[in-house]
Amino acid sequence: MELKNDKERLFLEMIDSYKSVIAKVCCVYASPTAEFDDLYQETIINLWTGFDKFRGEAKISTWIYRAAINTCITWVRRNKKHSSNVALDSELPVIAEDSNKLADYKHLHAIISQLLPLEKAIVTLWLDEKSYDEIADITGLTKNNVAVKLHRIKDKMSKMKDL
């Protein structure tokens, strides 16, 4: 499949560089298979739409995280039939089948899926080792607010593990 012009080539290079970031964020927020595909597609389209306007005011990684998280968090389901707990098998198409850490990831995912949408965003960024400043920049919270929320989220997650 040939790309027609420089913009498409540059855009593809960019999203290929950050594909795991986009995929992981979409995995965190998705439930059935259709939703992961929808979230991923929606994120890519939003990135394309904002690509021309991006002037490097923020780091590219910050911009990508913002786009992915904002797309997922504002994706409000019109049909609430599906459970908010993720059926992890639905993300398998993008998770390597030969991963010997799959069971560990399923456990991690089961914990994250029980968090509130904004908590998912914060914990995803924390898991990707973003600093409090970066988390604050992406989410729009203050640094202190991030620290407080993260502390509460970790406490919540610890209690979930004990159940």
Partner 1 sequence: MTDLDKLKEDWKNLTIRNDELERRNRELTRRIADERIKNNQQRLAANYRTGFLGLLFPLISMMLYEYNAQSLTLCIIYSAFGLIVGGYHLWFRHYVKSTDYTSLDTVSAVERAAKIVKYQDRATATSVCACVMLLSFMLYEFYDRCGIDVFISGIIGAAVGAVIGLKVYLSNRRNARSMLEELQKINDSNTQHC
Gap between the Cα atoms of 20 and 4, Å rounded: 25
Find the shortest distance in angstroms from Cβ 118 to partner 1.
Answer: 5
- Tokens standing for residue 7: 């913009």
Is the dihedral angle over the CA atoms 162, 130, 70, 40 positive or is it negative?
Answer: negative
Closer residue to partner 1 (CB): 87 or 107:
107
Distances (CA, A) of 161 to 79, 108, 111, 112, 142: 30, 9, 8, 11, 28
Is the dihedral angle over the CA atoms 143, 70, 29, 130 positive or is it negative?
Answer: negative
Find the shortest distance in angstroms from Cβ 39 to partner 1.
Answer: 11
* Other Cβ atoms within 10 Å of 75 Cβ, number: 16
Find the shortest distance in angstroms from Cβ 116 to partner 1.
Answer: 5
Find the shortest distance in angstroms from Cβ 159 to partner 1.
Answer: 11
Find the shortest distance in angstroms from Cβ 83 to partner 1.
Answer: 15
Closer residue to partner 1 (CB): 12 or 87:
12
* Other Cβ atoms within 10 Å of 54 Cβ, number: 14
Closer residue to partner 1 (CB): 32 or 126:
126
Closer residue to partner 1 (CB): 75 or 90:
75
Closer residue to partner 1 (CB): 87 or 99:
99
